[in-house]
Structure 1
Amino acid sequence: MTAQRKGRNAQSAIVYKTTSVVDDRSNEQVQVDMDNGVEVMAAFTAASTRDIAVAGQATHEQYTMIVRPDIPDVGMWSVVQWRGEFWDVVAPPEYHHGTRHVRHWSVKIRRRMGGGA
């Protein structure tokens, strides 16, 4: 772990992973599992917000969350609860390999409009 993720700069967050479900028409769909969040310690840094992926999601509050590498099923449909608000994962998480002490995921998150789940 880096000092950021376990030192005084570490902040608690809850990551809601994705799960696959089958709908009424036998189609497999990905959705957020809001019943089973995983509490993590992470470091947060401000990120650039030049690009707006979806109309209506224009916000300047975008961060990069640096978190441990052993959290499975975190992807584009995942949700993060941090500082009492909900944040969408806006890009595929990036895995950074290295020694055991430095490997981590970088996850770009953007605050949900209205802050709700």
Structure 2
Amino acid sequence: MASTTTVLLVAGALLTLSGGSTPTARLDVTPGPSYRVAVVVESAQPISGTYSLVVERVGDAGQSRSSQGGAFDLEGGQSDTLSVSAVNVTPGDRLEARLEVEWDDGTTSSDSFERTL
């Protein structure tokens, strides 16, 4: 079966989505006064796993840290948003987001976003 690859530029983060049977996990980052960080997973085949998302902001006003995670089941041929985190930011803030996914077949996926605003 042939596989295709699509490359997206979302808020300056380079993300690669692979078509075919390999499951994918990515961060979907939407900029604004409140940055929106979403965890998106997709797979052609049914699969489950666990994920961990950590979002950190550091700036003149202080720092914040948010952690989300848990188990999920994904039906084949679909994509799903597992988590959404919103972070208020001001110019000069440093924003970092890290995603780790462990699929039930033993493979892992990761993605990250880092930016000084």
* TM-score greater than 0.5 by the shorter chain: no
Q: TM-score, normalised by structure 1?
A: 0.30
Looking at secondary structure, tell me which structure has more strand per residue: 2
Q: TM-score, normalised by structure 2?
A: 0.30
